[in-house]
Amino acid sequence: NAGVTQTPKFQVLKTGQSMTLQCAQDMNHEYMSWYRQDPGMGLRLIHYSVGAGITDQGEVPNGYNVSRSTTEDFPLRLLSAAPSQTSVYFCASRGLEGAKSEAFFGQGTRLTVV
């Protein structure tokens, strides 16, 4: 049982480049979400999904796109990287009811935009 798997762990981008952060879970969770964590800011919600084909914006969605074509995968796309997107990104998943609602996080992607 792998839990929540994020790739890559580290990435350096030049301003204006695009890339996709991958997130996969093997727990058949309905709810998946992306956060960024910056010093002194806590975790801020970027986008989330409550099931395949359904996505919605969080607190800081600008500059990011998501899609949910399968239950397992929830990739985050940076359209045109900016230095302000330098951060640590975390993917999380959970079920919606009962004990399956325990949330699990990936190990994070440390992104630097130069």
In whole angstroms, what is the distance from residue 25 CA to residue 112 CA? 25
Burial 80-98 (b: 16+ CB within 10 A, else e): ebeeebbbebbbbbbeeee
The stretch near another protein (CB under 8 A) out of 20-28, 61-69, 77-85, 95-103 is 95-103
> In this chain, which of 2, 14, 39, 42 binds another protein, going by CB under 8 A?
42
Q: Which lies closer to another protein via its Cβ, residue 50 or residue 82?
A: 50
Report residue 90 as tokens. 């975390």
In whole angstroms, what is the distance from residue 23 CA to residue 6 CA? 5
Going by C-alpha positions, the residue among 106, 70, 64 that lies closest to residue 85 is 64
108 is an interface residue for another protein by CB under 8 A:
yes
> In this chain, which of 62, 96, 112, 114 binds another protein, going by CB under 8 A?
96
Q: To the nearest whole angstrom, how small is the minimum distance from the Cβ of residue 48 to another protein? A: 7
32 is an interface residue for another protein by CB under 8 A:
no
Query: What is the binding site for another protein (CB under 8 A)?
Result: 30-31, 33, 42-43, 45, 48, 50, 58, 90, 92, 94, 96, 98-99, 101-108
